[in-house]
Amino acid sequence: MENKCVVVGVTAGIAAYKICQLVSSLTKQGDEVHVIMTKDAEKFVTPLTFQTLSKQKVITDMFTVDYIPDVHHISLAKKADLFVIAPATANIIAKVSNGIADDLLTTTFLAATCPKLIVPAMNTYMLNNPITQANITKCREYGMHVMEAYAGYLACGDLGAGRLPDPEDIEDAITSLIEKDRYLTGKNILISAGATREEIDPVRYITNHSSGKMGYALARAARNAGANVTLISGQTNLRKPYGINQINVNSASEMYDAVISEFDHSDVTIMAAAVADYTPVEKADQKIKKSEGNWSLNLQRTQDILHTIGEKKKEYQMIIGFAMETENLMENAEKKLHEKNVDYIIANSLKDIGAGFGVDTNVVKIVSAHSVENLGLLSKDDTAKEILRHCLKK
Ligand code: CTP
């Protein structure tokens, strides 16, 4: 990804220390990060900490004597690809929702025209105060993006909403807003990901090795390109992506119901989930006790979701399926392409080094009725971007 300029406004909340991790991570990935602190924020974290992590001079004062033209508030406002305020106190939210510009942070924020992200963190009663809620609504009405505060134990000892979202999630929100090539704007994209779980009894289930990483990477890539994304997620250990409508399911039959109910209003459907082909005929209500000798489980076929939507597909809809194989990759991929009436099959072989379950890379071929595009070894994030570009960028 092309490196971007991110301005991080830090205000006076105890969660300010968590922003060190965010600044460090953004800087490590090559972004140019400028931190602006309010005067009171300096009581929680020193400017030197952020300066060391960002490798940029931290600015705190409008009327500093060692003025550097490049970090002047107007030039920073112009240069920013994204402006995030985190943690955002009730006070800064009140100010920015009303256009107050009485210090370096608020002045630069008011002058910036890039996407703006506000990450509230405060005491739960301050957050729930109708005045703060009205100010948050106002920020959204002005086009700013406001993350939901997390719930949990707060530094003041109260329990409730008001915690700063985790730095990884703030970074994901930044990534979702910073991309300039929004070629999927207005498109509804439905993506399934992860493994299904077929319950045998209250203790046991049948599943597979899918980590969900490829499907989630596709969901984030589609979102970054501007699409409205619905993610039907089976079992994964992955963080919920920012700005995506996520529906969690367990079994193949729950995934079937969720995909079918979303399918009609989807322009593009991508079935990346590893859906079980068989499920127990009966689920035992009580734990099955062992006995002497062998035991066998009676299984029945699940419904093939891709096949069903392939039959329902309308002219304006596109369907992309996956085929993970251990032998005869192209033959099986082409068979699935035709039998399931889909536009593309993303084929990968478990035998390829760097492809398969759990890893962060993949090796795929994009198979259509007319062509085969070999993407080679890429990260799952890059594989996702290339799949979307190849299939959807006109
Ligand atoms: N799929 C589906 N519903 C199922 C099984 C699979 O929608 N019950 C989808 C998968 O999400 C994937 C594609 O079908 O996009 C191919 O899945 P795969 O497991 O590779 O193949 P199957 O169709 O199950 O065929 P086989 O097991 O014979 O390889």
Q: Write out the chain's pLDDT in tens, 394 residues.
A: 678 999 999 999 999 999 999 999 999 999 999 999 999 999 999 999 999 999 999 988 776 655 565 556 788 999 999 999 999 999 999 999 999 999 999 999 999 999 999 999 999 999 999 999 999 999 999 999 999 999 998 888 888 999 999 999 999 999 999 999 999 999 999 999 999 999 999 999 999 999 999 999 999 999 999 999 999 999 999 999 999 999 999 999 999 999 999 999 999 999 999 999 999 999 999 999 999 999 999 999 999 999 999 999 999 999 999 999 999 999 999 999 999 999 999 999 888 999 988 899 999 999 999 999 999 999 999 999 999 999 998 8
Q: Cα separation of 48 and 55, whole Å? A: 10
Question: Which residue type does 144 have?
Answer: M
Structure tokens at 171: 């970074």
Cβ of residue 58 lying under 6 Å from some atom of ligand 1: no
| 346 CA closest ligand 1 atom index | 15
Predicted TM-score of the model (pTM):
0.94
Choosing from 209, 299, 304, 330 the residue with most ligand 1 atoms within 8 A of its CB, the one to mutate for a pocket test is 304
Indicate the burial class of 382 (C-beta count within 10 angstroms; 0-12, 13-18, 19 or more): middle
Q: Cα separation of 331 and 337, whole Å? A: 10
End-to-end CA distance of the chain: 20
Cβ of residue 364 lying under 6 Å from some atom of ligand 1: no
Q: Return contacts of 103-107, CB within 8 angstroms, 24+ apart.
A: 103/38, 103/39, 103/62, 104/36, 104/59, 104/60, 104/61, 104/62, 104/73, 105/9, 105/11, 105/36, 105/37, 105/38, 107/62, 107/73
Q: Cα separation of 351 and 347, whole Å? A: 12
- In eight-state DSSP terms, residue 8 is E
In the residue annotation, 156 being an active-site residue is answered as: yes
Instruction: Provide CB contacts within 8 A for 269, sequence distance 6+.
Output: 189, 190, 191, 259, 263, 309, 317, 318, 319, 320
- In eight-state DSSP terms, residue 271 is E
Write the Ramachandran bin of 354: left for phi over 0, alpha for psi from -120 to 50, otherwise beta.
left
CA distances from 122 to 86, 108, 116, 148, 206 (A): 11, 23, 19, 12, 43
Question: Which residue type does 171 have?
Answer: E
In this structure, the number of other CB atoms found within 10 A of the CB of residue 239 comes to: 11
Residue with token string 């990804």: 1
Cα(373) to centroid of ligand 1, in Å? 21
Residue with token string 């008011």: 110
Question: If DSSP codes are grouped into helix, strand and coil, which group holds residue 344?
Answer: strand
Strand positions, DSSP E, the chain: 5-10, 32-37, 82-88, 116-120, 145-146, 150-153, 159-163, 188-193, 198-199, 205-206, 228-233, 245-248, 268-271, 278-280, 299-301, 318-325, 344-349, 361-367, 372-379
- In eight-state DSSP terms, residue 265 is T
Choosing from 232, 278, 306, 320 the residue with most ligand 1 atoms within 8 A of its CB, the one to mutate for a pocket test is 306
5, 20, 156, 391: the catalytic one is 156
Choosing from 259, 270, 301, 336 the residue with most ligand 1 atoms within 8 A of its CB, the one to mutate for a pocket test is 336
Cα(227) to centroid of ligand 1, in Å? 25
